[in-house]
Amino acid sequence: MIRARFNSIRLLTYLKETIITVLPEPSHVQNVFQAILKPGTLSKNGLSKERLFIDCSTIDPRSSAQVANAVHSTGQGKFVDAPMSGGVVGAEAGKLTFMIGASDDLVDRVREVLMLMGKRVVFLGPQSSGLKGKLANNYLLALNNIATAEAMNMGVKWGLDPKILTDIINTSTGECWPSKINNPVPGVISESPASKGYEGGFGTALMNKDLKLAMQTAKEAGIKCQLGPLARDIYSEIEESDELKDKDFSVVYKYLGGK
């Protein structure tokens, strides 16, 4: 409790010189910064150092670069992309991982701020590198989630106990975040969204958004994605279902006919 209060006080002291944004879509980030950067909106009075903008949204690198250029060209400060990973569970426990794209001279300053909210800050390279790392991670997560749901559905339909099957997977080569932390079968992990009617967690629409952003960014770089389009179609069908939409993305298990 004392540590949490201390971190809160420290975080408040940063707010004069640091602005942190976390928004769902690229257009949201662009609109917010368009408003922030209007002449007269931000004052430099009382600042002891150049203002720092840390965007923790998961958006496409091209949009992020456009915002960064706008920040730098207006002389309002420095912009850093710092998408986070760890999900709702990680956020509630203060154990998020931040992937940052920034100039070398900003890394220590950014890390000091973000460590108040997470357990790990990884520097990936210049601006937009954090987003590229996050999109690669979430692309894999989107695929792993479907593969885990299919494997669990197989086992349950074959008559296997889902908890025993999960234990086998998590102590073998099939282990992954969807099998260990966010298992899609209700009752296997008591605190998972699946055990709470697939409520909370990471929504299917957000997962599909990140998947599409990853494929878009890959296409711009001439990178072929074979499995992505198949996963996108599955998540899109879930989004169109009145019964399944607005649920945690592990609801793909239910979409597949899982018990």
Which amino acids are annotated catalytic? 134
The C-alpha atoms of residue 133 and residue 99 are separated, in whole angstroms, by 7
Neighbours of 58 (CB within 10 A): 28
Rounded to whole angstroms, the maximal C-alpha distance in the chain is 68
In 3D space, the residue among 156, 153, 132 whose CA is nearest the CA of residue 59 turns out to be 132
> Tokens standing for 244?
């399944």
Q: For residues 29 and 213, is the Cβ–Cβ distance under 8 A? A: no
Residue 222 exposed, middle or buried by CB count within 10 Å (0-12, 13-18, 19+): exposed
User: What does the angle CA 250 – CA 154 – CA 244 come to, to the nearest 5 degrees?
Assistant: 30
